[in-house]
Structure formats: C-alpha cells, structure tokens
Chain A
C-alpha cells in the first residue's frame, strides 16, 4: 500500500536539477539493464503478431508500459475491439493513478510546466525509489525523472533490438516466444500479490473472465473479470 499517513512535506520546495537527474539515471541503471530483455521480448512477440518494426518501436517509445503493450497484442485482430482495449489499458494502469497520487504532495508543488515531464515516465520501478527518497526528505524531483529516463531508454533499446531480430525467428513456438506474454503477465500477477487478501481479486477476476469467455464479444470477458475481481477484493478487504 503506497498511501502513508505521512506528515505534509517540509516547507522546502521541490527542485529539479541536472545533478538530481543524473543521480536518478545512475541509481536505476542496474534495473534498466533488466528492462532490455523485456523490451526485446515485446519487439519479437509484436512482430509475430503482425505488428511492423516501426509500429512496435514507436509503441514502446510512446506507451512505455510492458503490461499495457503486451495486453494490447491480445486485441491485435482484424477488427479491433476498441472499447475493451481502452478499458483494459486503463484498468491495467490503474495503479499508476495510485502511485501518482502518492507522489502528488511533491509533484504538485513544482511549477506547472515541470510536472508533466516529471510524471510522464512514472512506472513501478522509479516510483519505488523516488517515493522512498522523497519520504526520507529528498527534494530533487530529478530523481524521479532521471530514473524514468534511463528505464525508458532501456525499454526502447530492447524494442528496437527485438523488432529487428524478430524477423530471424521463423517459428515462434519453437523458441517459446508464443508464451512470453502469458509468462510475463503471470509473473506480474504473482509478484503483485503480497498479502493473502489480494488473492481475492486474482481468483474472482480469473474465474469471471473464464466463465464469460464465450458469453461476451472479444475482450469484454477480461473487463468483466477485472471489475468483478476489483469489486470483490474491495468488499472483502474493507
């Protein structure tokens, strides 16, 4: 849980300095190294689903969200199910809203023009580092932006390599590339469950999605599962 009953930040206003940016880059560089293979995996899988190299690279550049991008591939059919794609992307990234809200006490005291770039690259990894530092008294928002930039660069680099190298794999199943998305999302869910109460949204979400698979048009079973799971989780974990 990111919400903390922490006292309001001290009277020192937040800063955005090159030194802070660099600190963010250096601090998250070891994590960024691990973003590269994920970026490669996305580029390769996107290619096997029929996404062109330029499309998957620009997608990684603009979205910078592994779970949202992999999930979009689930909707990569002749006719795009626009409504369920949109809702799925919002639901997957709903945690960004929570993380952004937790950073608001610092972000909202910056000049308006600096707020957008600072939170535009917000993700699980740089949130964890920056939020802990700010709560500990750090005031340089460059930490958040710099760490976002280094992770973003690694993600794009991986996507370029994957999109180009992807052409080399004739049969994706022979290398297990067809299960990358499944295994990645499975690992995400597994890693996000930290308390037994969080199994409720997982189990209910999964069950409803499977039960309604043939009931609803493409993708809407996922939305049904998502909202049923979130509602059940919130009711039982009140």
Chain B
C-alpha cells in the first residue's frame, strides 16, 4: 500500500491522464485528421493492455483464479453482459474457497 502522498498522486495521475484521453480526440482532429492506421493501432492498444493485465494476474494466481476467469469469459460469450460475467466469476471463486476451506 503506498504512503498517503503517493496514493493521492497516483489517483490524480490516473484521473488526469484519463481526462486527457477523452479530450485528445477532438483536439487532435481539429489540427489533423486521424489515419485509419493510427485509429486501428489505438483500438488494438486498448485491447492488448487489458489482455496483458489479465494474463499477468493469471500468471501470478492459481487454479482458482484461472477457473474464475474462464467462467467469466464463458458467461460473457454467452450472455454478453459483463455484470453477470463478473458475478459468475465471483461465485466460482467464493465456492472454490468454501469447498477448499
């Protein structure tokens, strides 16, 4: 857990950068049009970073975490509702902990 100063700095940093990405689109387009190539790279970047985060969480976790993520993925594919995917993954993990003690 970071010290209070670092914690607030991290919160501020993440918030300001998020806002910057929201403002960047219209600002950039005011000066130069975005090529289809750049647009595709940015779309792929959002996808790849989330996949990288999930993968490193799984690499550090165990079977319980892998099973929960698999359940979440399956539910998302079936129902296309992230709220149910998240709930199903949690139930899987809670059930696993309950059974495994």
Answer whether A and B are interacting partners. yes
Size of the chain A interface, CB-CB below 8 angstroms: 108
Q: Is the CB of A55 within 8 A of B8?
A: yes
Decide: A209 near B46, CB < 8 A? Known: A89-B18, A182-B61, A182-B69. Answer: no
Q: Is the CB of A108 within 8 A of B80?
A: no
Main secondary structure of the interface of A (DSSP, over half): helix
Chain A residues, CB < 8 A from B44: 198, 200-201, 229-230, 233-234, 237
Q: Is the CB of B50 within 8 A of A185?
A: yes
Shortest CB–CB separation between residue B21 and chain A, in angstroms?
4
Main secondary structure of the interface of B (DSSP, over half): helix
Chain A residues, CB < 8 A from B19: 62-63, 120
Q: Is the CB of B24 within 8 A of A100?
A: yes
Q: Is the CB of B85 within 8 A of A173?
A: no
Chain A residues, CB < 8 A from B14: 59, 63, 68-69, 72, 85, 89
Cross-interface CB contact of B89 among A62, A82, A183, cutoff 8 Å: A183
Q: Is the CB of B21 within 8 A of A90?
A: yes
Chain B residues, CB < 8 A from A202: 47-48, 51
Chain B positions 29-60 with a Cβ under 8 Å from a chain A Cβ: 29-30, 34, 36-37, 39-60
Q: Is the CB of A178 within 8 A of B6?
A: no
Cross-interface CB contact of B90 among A175, A188, A203, cutoff 8 Å: A175
